[in-house]
A and B are shown apart, each in its own frame.
Chain A
Amino acid sequence: MTARVFVSLKSTVLDPQGQTVRAALNGLGYRGISGVRQGKFFDITLAPDVTPEQARRDIETVAHEVLANPVIEEYRIELLD
């Protein structure tokens, strides 16, 4: 089983990288793009003997405690087969 954790800045936190990407895209002629927010994701492989319940608990914990900083970021977890 694998899990994917998406981490992005909260909407209230300034994202100068996303703004720079948007400005570049507009400069390339893509006038229809009005906003870009940049984030990252982690693909996590779970050992075969881990139960889905355990996996969900562990991934939730590491997403909250390590992968994202809840002061500035939010996260979303997808469990894949």
Chain B
Amino acid sequence: MRFGVIVFPGSNCDHDALHAVSRNLGQPAEFIWHDSRSLGGVDAVILPGGFAYGDYLRCGAIARFSPVMKAVGEFAAAGGLVLGICNGFQILVEAGLLPGALIRNRSLKFICREVRLRVETTGSPFTSAAQEGQVLRMPIAHGEGCYYAAERTLDELADGDRIVFRYLDNPNGSLRDIAGILNPARNVMGMMPHPERATEPLMGSCDGLLVFQSMLAVAQAVR
């Protein structure tokens, strides 16, 4: 399975994501520069964390106009696996590939620490290797991670079993404790916590590997 990690000007978790899938998952991975118009035939795309385009205007607001995002949109529409982590999640909501928005943390503080997440559904290509209700430990590092959406959208997410992760101890004010969500077709996921930063013992947790192992299992099943 080949992973592509998109690199925007200002991405800073791109190397972490590449390390996680290449070294710790053991799959080939490559960087894709933001002005590329093609994804080069990869099997899955990761939009990494960071501060794409300096987070100017709003987080993800400029990045979504990058040439590569057209290719990401087409890839997603064709059923390709797309994982947006942190800033990558913010870019996916700005691009309209996921609903809602990520706004300033309720505390106004940038929060960088480990959190606990509950797996709310295993019916997704990103959590199929997990147990329902399993609690995962991984870090967050964001100033704008408070998930917001209209009540109706929140109900749709809940009714459609599209809330993937919830915080056990909501750090940022996210509505309904949401930490990660799916699109209706379930092939695009955005999450604020960093699974790539929890993929080997040295990092303090290996729980993030479950996300990448799930993606790998789905890709192998398709073959």
Contact = CB atoms under 8 A, between A and B. Distances in A.
Interface of A: 9, 13-14, 16-17, 20, 66-67, 69, 71-72
A16 B148 contact: no
Given A71-B150, A72-B101, 17 more contacts: A9-B103, A14-B103, A14-B106, A14-B146, A14-B148, A16-B104, A16-B105, A16-B108, A17-B104, A17-B108, A66-B61, A69-B101, A71-B99, A71-B101, A71-B148, A72-B103, A72-B148
Contacts of A67: 57
Interface of B: 57-58, 61, 65, 93-94, 99-101, 103-108, 146, 148-150, 173
Majority DSSP secondary structure for residues of A touching B: mixed
Contacts of B105: 16
Contacts, number: 35
A16 B149 contact: no
A71 B149 contact: yes
10 contacts: A13-B148, A14-B106, A16-B106, A16-B108, A17-B108, A71-B93, A71-B100, A71-B101, A72-B101, A72-B148
A71 to B, nearest CB: 4
A66 B146 CA distance: 21
Contacts of B148: 13-14, 71-72
Contacts of B173: 14, 16
Nearest to B100: A71
Contacts of A71: 93, 99-101, 148-150
A16 B107 contact: yes
Contacts of B146: 14
Nearest to A67: B57
A17 B103 CA distance: 11
Contacts of A13: 103, 148
Nearest to B62: A66
Contacts of B150: 71
Nearest to A71: B101
A19 B161 CA distance: 34
Contacts of B101: 69, 71-72
B82 to A, nearest CB: 19
Nearest to A12: B150
Contacts of A66: 57, 61, 65
